């Protein structure tokens, strides 16, 4: 049976989602779930539900023959996926390469997954694949293939304003779909004022809580045990934090030892690293999910007389430390680069921004913070503020060169921040408030209603 929409609700499903599916103008909807444990919740629904993990089994759609027109696209898609670093980084995140779970074996399983995706899309012939956020697990592979077959991939994503969501379309070249949103003018202005004031005013609530947990120091055993026993949300997290505690403390000590002492250099740009693994760098970081590649790119292109300062995301040591993502050698190699310095974790972000000549990020909210504090930014990923003035896109060579060329330029007072506030007001008008489930069903509903009206008019 054909379907209008293939829906990926993910593990975090809002309470009113089924009501949304039944009451909206979606047409026929099929649901793909990432976890077989939640599959039973859908059996009583009128929507066909499948476990996406079944796509790794060659027998799942063995009775379906792939069409002649899709055979060439399948071959092209496999070549593209095997040439995309995100394919393998996501494999490691999903499967962990242990024992028989080698990259060699899993890449063969991926070929089966892609073939089954082609067969499934061929039978269902959907107009849309819809996700609650940027596809970043098995949904990324599925969405990638669907887009190759001409299916529109739609998802909600944080707008440049963290408490607002909007609709984005596309995997390879994502673009924001402009809709008439629900402005939050007062809340927006209060947020902007905080980001333009002191760091104590602007620091996120979750970071304030962590500062309180680690007030005796990040390497203090009592603080770490307090975090593990009382702040971790489940037993699995507690277990992982316990077995990784020794490695974390050793790596944290190394980071502190390698950090520079004394005052800031006169001329520098600063790169605020991302917490990993997380979708903001994988897949949204494009080919730069491995942040060493960003550091080396900056090291090689930084003008003479400038330093690059690197600051690690504090959550790498305070949230879930992962030695598979950050090794001791990683930090030693950074410290060994001629024009690169590691900033102590105690350095306030706003001090680094305010004294820098420019800020580098993948997709982080620090990009907006820098723009609001009158600093230009160089962006390595699919950030939602890429179209803002003074946000230079790394993959566009002309923009990248312009960022470095302008480092010595003295911008007029509030020149960048005024432009950024105008862009944020536009984004506010095109986005929708964040709901309790951390998504926006309202944004999806508005998009679906608009598409339905267009089809009827057509």
Instruction: Please report the domains of the chain, with CATH numbers, ordered by start residue.
Output: 5-181+433-457 (no CATH), 186-429 (3.40.50.2000)
Which pLDDT belongs to residue 379?
98
What average pLDDT does the structure give for the chain? 91
Q: How far is Cα 128 from Cα 150, in angstroms, rounded to an integer? A: 9
pLDDT of residue 457: 63
250/331 Cα distance (integer angstroms): 12
pLDDT computed for residue 206 by the predictor: 79
Mean pLDDT confidence for 227-233: 82
CB atoms within 10 A of CB 195: 19
Render pLDDT for 76-107 as a digit per residue (tens, 0 to 9). Answer: 999 999 999 999 999 988 887 665 678 888 89
314 versus 21: which is more confidently predicted? 314
Closest CA to 362 of 332, 384, 329: 384
DSSP secondary structure code for residue 310 in this structure: E
Average pLDDT of span 371-391: 97
pLDDT at 422 over 90: yes
On the question of pLDDT at 47 being above 90, the answer is no
Contacts of 290 (CB under 8 A, 6+ apart): 85, 89
Q: 301-336 pLDDT, tens per residue? A: 999 999 999 999 999 999 889 888 999 999 999 999
Strand, helix or coil for residue 136 = coil
What's the chain's length in residues? 458
Instruction: Please check the confidence at residue 458 and state whether its pLDDT lies above 60.
Output: no
pLDDT band of residue 27 (cuts 50, 70, 90) is confident
Phi then psi dihedrals of residue 175, to 5 deg: -140, 145
> Is the pLDDT confidence value at 45 over 90?
no
With CA atoms as reference, report the closest residue to 434 among 185, 158, 180, 169: 158
Q: Can you give the pLDDT at residue 248?
A: 95
User: Quick one: which of 85, 161, 157, 147 has its CA closest to 114?
Assistant: 147
User: What pLDDT sits at residue 97?
Assistant: 60
The pair of structure tokens assigned to 437 is: 């489930």
Measured between alpha carbons, how far is 55 from 32 in angstroms, rounded to an integer? Answer: 10
In this prediction, residue 233 carries a pLDDT of: 75
pLDDT at residue 108 in the model: 93
What percent of the chain clears pLDDT 70, i.e. is strictly above it?
A: 93
- Residue range 329-370, pLDDT digits in tens: 999 999 999 999 999 999 999 999 999 999 999 999 999 999
Q: Give residue 22's pLDDT.
A: 65
Mean pLDDT of 142-167: 96
Total-model pTM:
0.93
Q: Please check whether residue 129 is in contact with residue 136, taking contact to mean a CB–CB distance below 8 angstroms.
A: no
pLDDT at residue 6 greater than cutoff 80:
yes
Cβ–Cβ under 8 Å, residues 171 and 135: yes
| 397-416 pLDDT, tens digit each | 999 999 999 998 988 889 99
Closest CA to 118 of 153, 84, 150: 150
Question: Phi and psi dihedrals of 318, rounded to 5?
Answer: -100, -25
What pLDDT, in 10s, does the model give residues 142-153? Answer: 999 999 999 999
Average pLDDT in the 132-155 region? 96
Does residue 272 contact residue 215 with C-beta atoms inside 8 Å? no
Tokens of 63: 């009775």
d(CA 299, CA 194): 32
What pLDDT is stored for residue 171 in this prediction? 95
- Positive or negative, the CA dihedral 126, 127, 131, 136 is positive
Contact by Cβ (8 Å): 36, 44: no
Q: Is the pLDDT of residue 43 over 60?
A: no
Instruction: Provide the token pair at 251.
Output: 């790596």
Mean pLDDT of 118-130: 96
Q: Which residue has the higher pLDDT, 128 or 27?
A: 128
The pLDDT of residue 94 = 86
User: Quick one: pLDDT at residue 15?
Assistant: 64
* Secondary structure in 3-state letters for 409-448: CCCCCCHHHHHHHHHHHHHHHCCEECCCCCCCHHHHHHHH
Residue 418's pLDDT is 97
- Is residue 454 a contact partner of residue 448, using CB atoms and an 8 Å limit? no
């Amino acid at each position: 049976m054909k379907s209008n929409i293939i829906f990926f609700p993910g593990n975090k499903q809002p309470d009113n989602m089924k009501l949304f599916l039944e009451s909206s103008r979606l047409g026929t909807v099929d649901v793909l779930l990432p976890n077989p444990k939640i599959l039973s919740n859908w059996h009583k629904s009128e929507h066909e539900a499948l476990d996406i993990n079944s796509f790794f089994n060659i027998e799942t759609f063995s009775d379906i023959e792939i069409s002649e027109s899709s055979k060439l696209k399948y071959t092209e898609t496999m070549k593209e996926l095997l040439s995309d670093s995100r394919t393998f980084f996501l494999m490691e995140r999903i499967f962990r390469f242990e024992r028989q779970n080698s990259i060699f074996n899993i890449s063969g399983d991926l070929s089966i997954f892609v073939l089954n995706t082609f067969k499934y899309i061929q039978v269902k012939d959907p107009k849309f694949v819809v996700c609650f956020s940027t596809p970043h697990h098995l949904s990324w592979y599925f969405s990638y293939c669907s887009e190759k077959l001409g299916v529109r991939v739609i998802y909600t994503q944080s707008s440049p304003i963290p408490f607002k969501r909007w609709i984005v379309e596309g995997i390879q070249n994502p673009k924001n779909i402009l809709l008439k949103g629900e402005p939050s003018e007062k809340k927006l202005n209060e947020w902007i004022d905080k980001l333009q004031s002191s760091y104590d005013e602007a620091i996120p609530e979750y970071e304030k809580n962590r500062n309180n947990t680690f007030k005796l120091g990040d390497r203090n055993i009592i603080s770490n045990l307090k975090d593990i026993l009382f702040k971790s949300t489940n037993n699995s997290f507690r277990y992982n934090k316990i077995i990784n505690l020794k490695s974390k403390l050793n790596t944290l000590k190394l980071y502190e030892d390698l950090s520079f002492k004394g005052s800031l250099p006169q001329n520098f740009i600063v790169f605020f690293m991302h917490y990993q693994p997380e979708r903001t760098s994988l897949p949204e970081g494009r080919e730069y999910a491995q942040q060493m590649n960003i550091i080396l790119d900056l090291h090689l292109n930084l003008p003479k007389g400038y330093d690059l300062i690197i600051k690690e995301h504090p959550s790498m040591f305070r949230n879930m430390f992962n030695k598979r993502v950050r090794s001791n050698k990683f930090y030693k190699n950074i410290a060994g680069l001629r024009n690169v310095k590691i900033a102590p974790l105690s350095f306030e972000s706003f001090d680094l921004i305010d004294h820098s000549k420019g800020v580098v990020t993948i997709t982080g909210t620090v990009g907006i913070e820098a723009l609001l504090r009158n600093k230009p930014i160089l962006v390595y990923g699919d950030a939602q503020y890429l179209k803002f003035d003074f946000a230079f896109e790394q993959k566009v060579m002309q923009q990248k060169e312009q960022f470095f060329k302008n480092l010595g330029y003295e911008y007029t007072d509030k020149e960048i921040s005024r432009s950024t506030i105008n862009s944020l007001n536009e984004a506010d008008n095109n986005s929708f408030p964040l709901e309790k489930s951390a998504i926006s069903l309202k944004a999806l509903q508005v998009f679906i209603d608009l598409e339905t009206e267009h089809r009827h008019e057509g």
